[in-house]
């Protein structure tokens, strides 16, 4: 199965490289960092540019590591974290099916990345060439844990990036800014 693992690594890793460089540089029909950052802002991923940079770097960097078979568990962790964030922030509420904007494709990519981490990159890899090929359930779990930690860290960054509003200001904003609501907010503050 030397060729099978090589093909899986190159295809999955290569597609992640393409997806990440769409965000970072606008390659392969992407929109680049600024436009992707604006789109992320609209989805509530603030600051958008920072989140777009992190997602693009995780996808392109992790994909490169997977495709090359270099530091394979780290590459698997990076793409797993990026896909977990995508599921949480974009796809989760839409059900499983990709035809409805759901998370099925993301889960397949996570499963493929974790399988590569557990099985190891194979003899046709830079890890093997350097004598650093790692495989086994422990490395698969390492990649999963790294992905979960990366997604959790991104969530913490989102929470810290959101400005805090005073409760009265929030109430006024939620009621579409009507004069009565503004007056009620002023009364509550007094």
User: Residue 154 has what pLDDT?
Assistant: 85
Domain assignment present for 137: yes
C-alpha distances in Å from residue 161, one per residue of 33, 40, 47? 18, 13, 7
What's the number of domains the chain is made of?
A: 1
Domain assignment present for 176: no
Q: What is the mean pLDDT of residues 105-114?
A: 97
Q: Full-prediction pTM beyond 0.75?
A: yes
Domain assignment present for 184: no
Average pLDDT for the chain = 85
User: Residue 183 has what pLDDT?
Assistant: 31
Q: What is the mean pLDDT of residues 8-33?
A: 96
48's tokens: 């958008």
* Of 162, 25, 24, the residue nearest 82 (C-alpha): 24
User: Residue 46 has what pLDDT?
Assistant: 86
Range of the domain at 106: 2-164
Domain assignment present for 187: no
Residues 6+ away with beta carbon under 8 Å from 39: 31, 48, 52
Q: What is the pLDDT of residues 135-173, one digit of tens each?
A: 999 999 999 999 999 999 988 876 555 554 444 444 433
Look at the block and give the residue holding tokens 């890899």. 125
- At 44, the pLDDT band (50, 70, 90 cuts) reads confident
User: Residue 162 has what pLDDT?
Assistant: 56
Burial zone of 164 (CB within 10 Å; 0-12 exposed, 13-18 middle, 19+ buried)? exposed
Domain assignment present for 113: yes
User: Residue 115 has what pLDDT?
Assistant: 97
3-state secondary structure (DSSP) of residue 90: helix
107's tokens: 């889960």
Q: How far apart are CA 144 and CA 125, in angstroms?
A: 21
Question: Taking 60 as the threshold, does the pLDDT of residue 60 lie above it?
Answer: yes
Domain assignment present for 77: yes
Domain assignment present for 169: no
- At 45, the pLDDT band (50, 70, 90 cuts) reads confident
C-alpha dihedral (32, 71, 74, 141), degrees to nearest 10? 150
Domain assignment present for 98: yes
C-alpha Rg value of the chain to the nearest Å: 21
Question: Taking 70 as the threshold, does the pLDDT of residue 180 lie above it?
Answer: no
C-alpha distances in Å from residue 147, one per residue of 59, 82, 87, 122, 141? 12, 7, 12, 22, 10
């Amino acid at each position: 199965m030397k060729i099978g693992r090589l093909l899986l690594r190159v295809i999955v890793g290569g597609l992640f490289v393409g997806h990440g460089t769409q965000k970072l540089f606008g390659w392969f029909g992407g929109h680049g960092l600024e436009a992707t950052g604006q789109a992320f802002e609209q989805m509530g991923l603030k600051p958008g540019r920072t989140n777009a940079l992190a997602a693009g770097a995780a996808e392109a960097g992790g994909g490169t590591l997977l495709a090359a078979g270099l530091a394979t568990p780290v590459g698997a962790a990076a793409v797993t974290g990026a896909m977990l964030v995508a599921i949480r922030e974009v796809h989760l509420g839409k059900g499983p099916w990709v035809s409805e904007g759901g998370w099925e494709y993301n889960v397949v990519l996570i499963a493929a990345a974790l399988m590569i981490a557990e099985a190891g990159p194979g003899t046709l890899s830079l890890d093997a060439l350097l004598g650093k090929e790692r495989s086994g359930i422990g490395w698969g779990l390492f990649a999963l844990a790294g992905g979960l930690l990366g997604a959790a860290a991104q969530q913490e960054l989102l929470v810290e990036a959101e400005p805090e509003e005073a409760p009265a200001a929030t109430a006024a904003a939620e009621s579409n800014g009507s004069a009565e609501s503004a007056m009620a907010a002023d009364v509550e503050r007094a």
